[in-house]
Homo-oligomer: A and B are copies of this chain.
Amino acid sequence: MSSEKNPLSPRIDKNGNLDILIAAAECFMEQGYHAASIDDVARRLGSTKGRIYHYYRSKTELFFDVHREGMRRNFEAVTPVMKGPEPAAQRLSAMFRRHALSMMENLALEAVVVQGVEMHRFSATTPEQRRTLAELMTVRNDFESLFKRVAYEGVEDGTIRTSDVSVAVKVALGAINWLSIWYRPRPSETRDDREILADKIVESIMQGLNAPG
């Protein structure tokens, strides 16, 4: 992935801990952050708690790294299509489409990203936790900025129309992020099914609901 716009920690996967992050994300998604324990994560992994504590001192640290990996995949999905000779509306559509697919295909990780945003407001965190959350929020704002930048390019090249780029991008990202609340894959679902859903979401965002004329 492009490292230019991504200030995230590079330690993910170097230590072979990606399966820990996925198992933890699934536990956090299904049980909620507060109810899930390191024991639950170990059980899901079929490993010992010791293996998890080798990488993470606490559940909070684990949660933050899941959040980082979810955001890393968000950046990885959209940055390759940001730039190019196409009109900005076309590039922005491709970014939304890839973000929607990434939400569906990394559902547990991305549900934790949404939980992380919620947690940002909670007071029951230590100063160190608050610093980490602030860092994660900065990354989140950087992600939103990628979309705003291309939307502004679209206002300039005449392919995007909006009275407020910032609100329009928040509306579009909210629509996509809301997938973490309602989307659950059907057992027989294929990549094609997900692409059809992503196309419908992008259609709604780009065309709106009003019939033309």
Contacts and interface: CB of A to CB of B under 8 A. Distances in A.
Interface of A: 29-32, 34-35, 89, 92, 114-115, 117-119, 121-124, 151, 154, 158-164, 167-168, 170-179, 181-182, 197, 200-201, 203-212
Given A122-B31, A209-B162, A175 B171 contact: yes
Contacts of A179: 174
A35 B174 CA distance: 26
A96 to B, nearest CB: 9
Counting every copy of the chain, the complex holds: 2
A197 B167 contact: yes
8 contacts: A30-B122, A31-B123, A89-B210, A154-B209, A162-B203, A162-B209, A205-B209, A206-B209
Contacts of A161: 207, 209-212
Contacts of A34: 34
Nearest to A181: B117
A204 B171 contact: yes
A122 B34 CA distance: 10
Contact of A211 (B30, B158, B171): B158
Contact of A121 (B29, B118, B175, B211): B29
A117 B179 CA distance: 12
